[in-house]
Amino acid sequence: MKRIHTQEVSELNGSEVELFGWVDARRDHGGVIFIDLRDRTGIVQVVLSKSIEGAEDVRLEYVIRVSGIVKERPDSMINDKISTGRYEIKATKLEIISSSEEVPIPVEGDGYDVNEEARMKYRYLDLRRKRLKENLIVRHKVNKYIRDFLSERRFIEIETPILGKSTPEGARDYLVPSRLEEGKFYALPQSPQQYKQLLMVAGMEKYFQIVRCFRDEDTRGDRQPEFTQLDIEMSFVSQEDILSLAEELFTSLVKELFPDKKLTLRDGKFSRLTYKEAMEKYGSDRPDLRDNKENKDELAFVFIVDFPMFEKKDDGSLGAVHHPFTLPTFDTKINPEEFQREGKNWQTLMKMLESEEESLKLSAYQYDLVLNGFEVGGGSIRIYDPRLLAKVFERLGNKSKDIEIQFGHMFEAFKYGVPPHGGIAPGLDRLIMILQGEPNIREVIAFPKTGDGRDLMMGAPSEVDKKQLDELGLKLKK
């Protein structure tokens, strides 16, 4: 007999079936025991006669196999709260596959009232609840939709390395010591920024990846030490091409997968604001443009464009608002390529970069995608002229020798014919958090860290054996 899932029961009235799953509830009614059998697809009621071997031994969260006949329930016993509520399984055979101790956290209900640290410690139990299971299924559907959408438009999904080189990109790197080259380190990628640009040099033209990124920074509700982004890079495109692609992707995704959501559009399009307009009107570069900010079913996307290229950091030094590979400009109405080839605009830009005061007047071909007050993506048109790129690095206080050590591979690649290119990288954790109406991204990640970056389930971070440190040539300071 072939196993079926609980959601198939409604189509098999009168059939003999076999189901596997967990005991979600148990009710003893004299000579009959009713259990709710739960699998990934839902719940169905099973009627067990006490004469069936093992019936009286079954307890909550036991894993069982049940054989029986699908029967319609009497009208007075129909349960409208579940999709299988008109049917039940009249059991003929029961097998207890594995028993369960009393679970340390409840797995019924939405779990919001359960201590979060306990939920993180017993995450494999927490994931048994319907809400989290649905969040992960939705995440799967979003990933699949994105892959199909981009593949149909001739994008190529390419994996980039996890072990790379530590380079200054804004946040703190996670470092991985090398055993074979003592005293040297890999870094986990903050994003595949350099690799995706090198793929454009390689002639891939349209690349995407659903990729893990790592940043050693303070955590909060919508941030984790490791997170997932949709990485997109394209050659021979304008800023408008990239924004239009992102708008088409997320508009169609919402309509297909979230038909009950209301998209707040302006003339049928995502709203657009310059950085200056957003700050002057809303006091934020992440404005919430919903008509009703209490309504979780309303989605208001907005592109923020024309960011400043540079900003003053707390220590008084100059920093890139986005990253050093972003193309600066003194006029975003001018074709970006005019700033990357010899000419009047190129010369003016190079001259402005010689002065910190003039550099702070520059904007950039940079854009963010904001949804309901959260930044859910960002991108830019990139610098592909190596002379301009070197000038930007120097303006940021890097010495020529350091630039060569940290980014020499990029300057070498840029000697060999680089196409104009740009991209965008939406963060999938935040996006799905908003789409699912969740309060933080931990609710849509299978195995997240706590707010302070710990994995309570695995006990990470953890100490390691001295032998491992010796092999790596490392010694801990006391």
Sign of the dihedral through C-alpha 460, 465, 469, 471: negative
Domains of the chain with CATH codes: 6-98 (2.40.50.140), 125-444 (3.30.930.10)
pTM over 0.85? The answer is yes
**Token pair 């007047």 is at which residue?**
361
CA–CA dist 140, 228 (Å, integer)? 13
* Coil, strand or helix at 142: helix
Amino acid at 378: G
Each residue's pLDDT expressed in tens, for the chain with a length of 478 residues = 789 999 999 999 999 999 999 999 999 988 899 999 999 999 999 999 999 999 999 999 999 999 999 999 998 899 998 999 999 999 999 999 999 999 999 999 999 999 999 999 999 999 999 999 999 999 999 999 999 999 999 999 999 999 999 987 667 899 999 999 999 999 999 999 999 999 999 999 999 999 999 998 876 656 889 999 999 999 999 999 999 999 999 999 999 999 999 999 999 999 999 999 999 999 999 999 999 998 989 999 999 999 999 999 888 888 899 899 999 999 999 999 999 988 999 999 999 999 999 999 999 999 999 999 999 999 999 999 999 999 999 999 888 888 888 899 999 999 999 999 999 999 999 999 999 999 999 999 999 998 888 999 999 999 999 999 999 999 998 8
CA distances from 145 to 177, 318, 429 (A): 37, 40, 15
The strand pairing partners of 209, in sequence order, are: 231
CA–CA dist 70, 191 (Å, integer)? 52
CA–CA dist 244, 195 (Å, integer)? 24
End-to-end CA distance of the chain: 63
> DSSP state, 128?
T
Sign of the dihedral through C-alpha 77, 81, 87, 93: negative
Q: Quick check: 77 and 70 in contact, CB under 8 A?
A: no
